[in-house]
Structure 1
Amino acid sequence: MGIPISFGRRLVAHVSLLSLILLGVSWMWADFSSFPPLETWSMILGYLSFILIGCTLLIGPLQSWLPARWMAINLSIRRDIGIWAGLTGLLHVILVLVLFESEPRLMILQENRSEKTDGWLGLFFFASSDLTMWPSPNWTLAGVANYLGLLAFFILLALWLTSSARAEKWLGGSSWKRLHLANPWLFVIVLFHGLIYIHSIKGEPHTFSDMLVFAAMIWVIRSISFIQRAFFRKR
């Protein structure tokens, strides 16, 4: 018999997650103090969304090592973490669009803005000298990072909007599961989006290890869990 999920338990989970997010913001703020405040919020929220998405990928493997009666509460915790991953990710995107639409602009290194279209569209397109021509796609490294971020945004939005039990019932169990199988792909896309920015666009305090160590840890834990399940299933 599983552990029942009450409103009070969900409330405690959300308050705890919000407290951890605020703690993470306060911990990282000093490292980003050289950036304008809105940009600092944008970058920190992006990092936190990446971490929370990764945490949702750990719930399944951890559940395989816990008693079966914990399954309901673990699934509830994964859903709550996913909600906050979506919220922090969407706030990150909104702040990026605001920063590119008005002052202050993002502090971007190694990028030529002279040929870009105005506003947030400059993230994705180069302006054409011929006014009758459509803007051309931005296939620079920065542009690829932006396209990956846009793809991640749509996936994250779809997962976030369907994170409730009502949405699961409306979509049907099998369709809902197929949609949420995109979660590992979302993590990989966000990982490459962040790595490109760290490598060629942003400078310190970003480093590859910020994201790669966490991604490697998730890969190892999920791999061990997969091998264990396959071994016991074969037996």
Structure 2
Amino acid sequence: MIAGYLSFLLIGLTLLIGPIKSWLPGRWTAACLSIRRDVGIWAGLTGILHVCLVLILFEGEPKLYMISDTRPDQTGGWLRLFLYAPPESGVWPIPNWSFTGVANYLGAIAFILLLALLCTSSGRAEKWLGSSAWKRLHLANPWLFLLVLFHGLIYIQSIKGEPHSFSDLLVFAVVVWFVRSLSFGRTVLKRRW
């Protein structure tokens, strides 16, 4: 979970660097963009670490105390993150639409988006994709942040375990939203005057 929290924080920082850059003198632009790219790469690497550790833990030992689903589980390993095979269904597992299952689906979508952003975080990828397509892809970063936020909030609600609480994620999300909104408002006012 630490790797997941760290990835969430780093994704949020990438969203904060843009507004902060706009408040600094122009000579800082190149440095801020370089820092944002590096922070984004670290966000991707910690996100991959989080997913790898979760998959390893769900393959066997140690047993996770946080999964409190009372339904019998007939699927094995990490597949039970996404599938549920009730006894009456025979062999065909069905999607896990429990609270935790929905969090896992959100996490999987976020992971795919995170991989796309990570794989295209170089100047070479930007040239290969073209500036317009690359920018459209990287404008998905706020959506990634929201997916990870909801993934985390649902997990916190489903495990109901201390020391985790909604405020762990929500306070940071509100700060990111506030700074970005403030920067947006400042930019709009600047352009109107």
| TM-score tier (shorter) | over 0.9
Contact kept, 8 Å, 1:111 with 1:201, in 2: the verdict is no
Structure 1 spans left out of the alignment, 5+ residues = 1-42
Distance in 2 separating the partners of 1:48 and 1:61: 21
Distance 1:101 1:53, change over 3 A: same
Q: Which amino acid aligns with 2:36?
A: R
Deviation at 1:115, TM superposition (A): 2.9
TM-superposition CA deviations, 1:82-120 (whole Å, max 9, x none): 000000010000000000002012221532252351110
Structure 1 counterpart of 2:9: 51
Distance 1:167 1:186, change over 3 A: same
Aligned match for 2:76, one of 114, 118, 121? 118
Matches within 5 A, 1:164-183: 164-183=122-141
Q: TM-score, normalised by structure 1?
A: 0.79
Deviation at 1:59, TM superposition (A): 0.8
Aligned match for 1:64, one of 22, 34, 41? 22
Distance in 1 separating the partners of 2:90 and 2:71: 21
TM-superposition CA deviations, 1:26-78 (whole Å, max 9, x none): xxxxxxxxxxxxxxxxx111100000000000011001101112111100000
DSSP 3-state at the match of 2:75: coil
Q: Which amino acid aligns with 2:152?
A: G
Matches within 5 A, 1:22-61: 43-61=1-19
Matched, 1:158 2:119: no
Matched, 1:188 2:146: yes
TM-superposition CA deviations, 1:117-149 (whole Å, max 9, x none): 111000001115467653100001010000000
Q: Which gives a bigger RCO, structure 1 or 2 (Cα 8 Å, sep 6+)?
A: 2
Distance in 1 separating the partners of 2:176 and 2:13: 8
DSSP 3-state at the match of 2:135: helix
- Residue identity over aligned pairs, in percent, reads 66
Structure 2 counterpart of 1:29: none
Q: CA RMSD in A?
A: 1.4
Distance 1:77 1:68, change over 3 A: same
Contact kept, 8 Å, 1:49 with 1:85, in 2: the verdict is yes
Q: Which amino acid aligns with 2:172?
A: F
Q: Which amino acid aligns with 1:184?
A: P
Distance in 2 separating the partners of 1:110 and 1:98: 19
Aligned match for 1:209, one of 167, 184, 192? 167
Distance in 2 separating the partners of 1:102 and 1:73: 44
Distance in 2 separating the partners of 1:46 and 1:113: 26
Structure 2 counterpart of 1:76: 34
Structure 2 spans left out of the alignment, 5+ residues = none
DSSP 3-state at the match of 1:64: helix
Which aligned runs of 4 or more in structure 1 are off by greater than 2 angstroms? Answer: 128-134
Number of equivalent positions: 193
Q: Which amino acid aligns with 1:82?
A: G
Matches within 5 A, 1:1-20: none
Q: TM-score, normalised by structure 2?
A: 0.95
